[in-house]
Structure 1
Amino acid sequence: MLVKVQKWGNSQGIRLSKEVLAEANILVGDELEIISTKDQLVIKPVRKIRGKYQLQDLVSQIPQDYKPQEEDWGSAVGLEAW
């Protein structure tokens, strides 16, 4: 597949067809890693588990003195089973 680098505002970019994205298992909004060498670009998706956050990053933000406690959410409103 041949594409051209095009100017969009102050940036440049390329468009990838729906078929190319499907073949590479890339969805709109996915993060991509771009590796450049002297005469080549490699574009590959960054695979994260269950969305855009990594569990290790979230856990590392918990303060050391945090003490978990039970929360009272009140009585059931719908068909919840408590």
Structure 2
Amino acid sequence: MESVIRKWGNSPALRLPTTVLKEAGYQLEQKVDLIVSPGRIIIQPSKNIAYDLDTLIKGINAANMHEEISFGSPVGNEAL
């Protein structure tokens, strides 16, 4: 598929058709890494995913919560 790099504000931009995003398995607002080498730009999913603690905590429910796990008695200067 051919596309054209155009100006967007002060930066060059490449618009990706929705079909291209879907076929590659990408979503809007997804973080990506750019790998640049002479004559080539590769877009791949970012491995650095930021998690929001409040969102993660809201996802806890009776079905996915486990019981307390004991690791035994203190063996050093652990605070209990």
TM range (shorter): 0.5 to 0.7
Cα shift readout 1:33-74 (whole Å, capped 9, x = no counterpart): 1101111111011256xx63288xxxxxxxxxxx9xxxxxxx
> 2-side partners of 1:24 and 1:47: how far apart?
16
- Which residue type is aligned with residue 35 of structure 1? I
> 1-side partners of 2:52 and 2:36: how far apart?
25
Q: Which residue of 1 aligns with 2:11?
A: 11
> 2-side partners of 1:9 and 1:40: how far apart?
23
Query: Is the counterpart of residue 53 in structure 1 residue 16 in structure 2?
Result: no
Aligned length: 54
So what's the TM-score if we normalise by structure 2? 0.58
Partner SS, residue 20 of structure 1: helix
Runs of 4+ off more than 6 Å: none
Partner SS, residue 2 of structure 1: coil
Q: Which residue of 2 aligns with 1:76?
A: none
- Which residue type is aligned with residue 4 of structure 1? V
Partner SS, residue 23 of structure 1: helix
Unaligned runs of 5+ in 1: 56-66, 68-82
So what's the TM-score if we normalise by structure 1? 0.56
Q: Which residue of 2 aligns with 1:39?
A: 39
- Taking only the aligned residue pairs, the percentage that are identical comes to 31
> 1-side partners of 2:25 and 2:52: how far apart?
20
RMSD of aligned alpha carbons: 2.5
Cα shift readout 1:3-61 (whole Å, capped 9, x = no counterpart): 1110011111100011110111110000011101111111011256xx63288xxxxxx
